[in-house]
Amino acid sequence: MKLSETDFLPVSREDMRRRGWEDYDFLLVTGDAYVDHPSFGTPLIGRVLENAGYRVAILAQPDWHGPEAFRAMGRPRLGAMLSAGNLDSMVAHYTAARRRRNEDYYSPGKQAGRRPDRAVIVYAGRVREAFPGLPVIVGGLEASLRRFAHYDYWEDKVRRSVLLDAGADLLTYGMGERATLEIARRLAAGERVDTLTDIRGTAFLSREGTCAFPCLDLPSFEEVREDKAAYAEACRLENREHDAVRGRALRQAHGDRFLVVNPPAAPLETPELDALAELPFTREPHPMYDALGGVPAIEEVRFSIIHNRGCFGGCAFCSLAFHQGRAVTVRSHESVLREAEAMTRHPLFKGYIHDVGGPTADFRHPSCKAQKERGLCPDRRCLAPEPCPHLDADHSDYLALLRKLRAIPGVKKVFIRSGIRFDYVLAEGKDAFLKELVQHHVSGQLKVAPEHCVDNVLACMGKPPVKVFEAFCEKYGEMNKKLGKKQYLVPYLMSSHPGSRLGDAVRLAEYLKAHGIRPEQVQDFYPTPGTISTCMYWTGLDPMTGKKVYVPRSYHEKELQRALLQWFDPGKRKLVEEALTKAGRTDLIGYGPRCLIRPESRSAAPKGGGKKRETGKKPKGRKA
């Protein structure tokens, strides 16, 4: 499949000349490499604008040290739209331990450092320098999750809304297609950018604080910076009002100005999602990256299908609910099937569709029948700590879609890799989906996300009690046995989440050992902007209940909790021993079947400091 530069949106003056353009309407700047695929936000917005008749140019990963790269294609007629890319730039650059990453999968050849820290702020400054007076609109995940005053993990302090620090005219949040088209239409009609204050899904700054919608005041930036209880209250209200049906606008004073965040835009309905997915994407990285090793991020999505948006799962550490929202909307079967059939004609396609998913793969309709009229419930989760009595748990439509995909000529296997909600599967009370999942859609291992085994930690995470995971494990095992399969569950686990004490991490290590689980990777909790869990980390309060929450803060305590989850790794032995001693659990150092590690020598076996240590002869023929 040979693609040329003209199959992509323009990235240079030469591309513009090929199209006969003397000027263009919008410059779209992104911190990612240019991959023309609908799972990449900036190219998606570019195709939406192109489809509406606007001339759009893409500036991907420009040199931000001066304005020259931003001037390369000339001044856009209507405005510049800026995004850090598919990830917050600080998350893209740093690990949970604040160490610099060596690779960036959204850059050619995985080369790190091709975008700046706090990319939205830096890009906005360069655009204002290059084109004084040009309307500047910031969007994407980084802007969306930093739209309010927010705790910043890397500086360990509360920062202002990114709209102020960027000095932009407007901010779009969430999935920005509706807001972007309305902004473009009104700018093209000659309206000034400072008059665009009544568009849902946007935020702006105002001296007067005037708002076109019913509005609720948040604690000010100065209050949330100084008072953690005020920060938690702001977080509660921000999440409560993030609903396209019942949500109100939110106003937050920053000094002598007001940040006004209009209510969320309505999510796209099925025909609109279908039209979006079928815009003329090449679904490939731009050819300019071929000599640089391509863009590795395409490999995860090239043969995957996104069939839904939104998630009512309610995990406290996940940013999706505060970005895409909790309302689930889906593409039609026909649209998904057309995409799959097109995949079979790709020269690299080997017969395997890697995923049919989205934020949560098995959500194909609203969580309950009242949602469209009333919005989602402001003060409770749909699934945790137990499923809502009104939850409509039904996999029949998703199952029908998977069956149709399996029947396409040239498709050998259809996998589900983006994750299912095991509690939602159980809530349905039927085995049809689980049976076909096991029979057709697992490639040896099914990844699920129990995250922990201690119920008070799970409650902080917004996850169901561990007994729900255990019930799913049992049903999954029984179904594999019934179908003659040998397939395994791979659990995602998180260490050091707010609420998790060192003793809870020990209990999780015991649980994993007892169930024969040896995780190769463990995710240390990462306080990313905008999540409920990040609010807990900063304030020590659960913003939804007001209750105090224990927070493991020091790097060393996090290191101890993480090491416990990989107690079997010889390189972590000293950390595990220290953790067990500090937790008063030296009974788990020994040769008994429950022990996590052995003494360094019999003479060095710990004495006292915890429960009675298990003893016994060293087992033969297996690891203790």
Same domain, 36 and 161: yes
Give the span between the Cα atoms of 267 and 580, in whole angstroms: 49
Same domain, 170 and 194: yes
Would residue 421 count as lying in a domain? yes
Same domain, 484 and 355: no
| Nearest alpha-carbon partner for 150 in 424, 549, 529 | 529
Of 261, 286, 321, the last residue of a domain is 261
Using DSSP bridges, classify how beta strands 26-30 and 304-306 pair: parallel, antiparallel or unpaired. Answer: unpaired
pLDDT for position 609: 44
Residues 106, 92 contacting (CB under 8 angstroms):
yes
Which class for 516: exposed (0-12), middle (13-18), buried (19 or more C-beta within 10 A)?
Answer: exposed
Same domain, 372 and 457: no
Tell me which residues of the chain have a pLDDT lower than 70: 1, 601-624
Give the span between the Cα atoms of 368 and 327, in whole angstroms: 10
Same domain, 208 and 348: no
Same domain, 112 and 20: yes
Residues 81, 137 contacting (CB under 8 angstroms):
yes
Cα 89 to the center of its chain, rounded Å:
13
Give the CATH number, domain containing residue 352: 3.30.750.210
Q: What is the DSSP letter of 230?
A: H
Of 261, 290, 317, the last residue of a domain is 261
pLDDT for position 602: 54
pLDDT for position 616: 35
pLDDT for position 170: 98
Edge-to-edge strands of the sheet including 215-217? 56-60, 26-30, 79-83, 136-139, 170-172, 202-206, 257-261, 249-254, 215-217
340 CB contacts (<8 Å, ≥6 apart)?
305, 353, 405, 408, 411
Give the span between the Cα atoms of 372 and 601, in whole angstroms: 65
- Phi first, then psi, for residue 601 (nearest 5°) are -155, 165
Task: Identify the domain containing residue 505 by its residue range.
Answer: 444-582
DSSP strands (E only) in 88-228: 136-139, 150-152, 157-159, 170-172, 202-206, 215-217
C-alpha to C-alpha distances, 142 to 161, 166, 207, nearest whole angstrom: 11, 12, 25
DSSP strands (E only) in 369-426: 413-414
pLDDT for position 419: 85
Would residue 545 count as lying in a domain? yes
pTM of the model as a whole: 0.93
Would residue 613 count as lying in a domain? no
Give the span between the Cα atoms of 31 and 489, in whole angstroms: 35
Residues 567, 508 contacting (CB under 8 angstroms):
no
Same domain, 48 and 175: yes
Same domain, 49 and 168: yes
pLDDT for position 617: 35
Would residue 314 count as lying in a domain? yes
Give the CATH number, domain containing residue 519: 3.30.750.200
Give the span between the Cα atoms of 348 and 294, in whole angstroms: 15
Would residue 267 count as lying in a domain? no
pLDDT for position 603: 46
What is the widest separation between alpha-carbon atoms in the chain? Answer: 84
* Collapsed DSSP state (helix, strand, coil) of residue 27: strand
Using DSSP bridges, classify how beta strands 523-524 and 488-495 pair: parallel, antiparallel or unpaired. Answer: parallel
Give the CATH number, domain containing residue 161: 3.40.50.280
Would residue 366 count as lying in a domain? yes
Give the span between the Cα atoms of 361 and 441, in whole angstroms: 12
* Helical residues (DSSP H) of 462-528, grouped into ranges: 466-483, 502-514
Say how many domains are in the chain: 3
Asked whether the CA dihedral 42, 44, 48, 51 is positive or negative, the reply is positive
Would residue 298 count as lying in a domain? no
Same domain, 37 and 47: yes
Residues 383, 421 contacting (CB under 8 angstroms):
yes
Give the span between the Cα atoms of 162 and 158, in whole angstroms: 11
Residues 73, 10 contacting (CB under 8 angstroms):
yes
Same domain, 95 and 209: yes
pLDDT for position 1: 64
469 CB contacts (<8 Å, ≥6 apart)?
422, 448, 450, 453, 491
Same domain, 321 and 208: no
Cis peptide leading into residue 599 (ω within 30°)? no
Would residue 593 count as lying in a domain? no
CA atoms within 13 A on the CB side of 422: 25
Same domain, 96 and 144: yes
Of 206, 237, 261, the last residue of a domain is 261
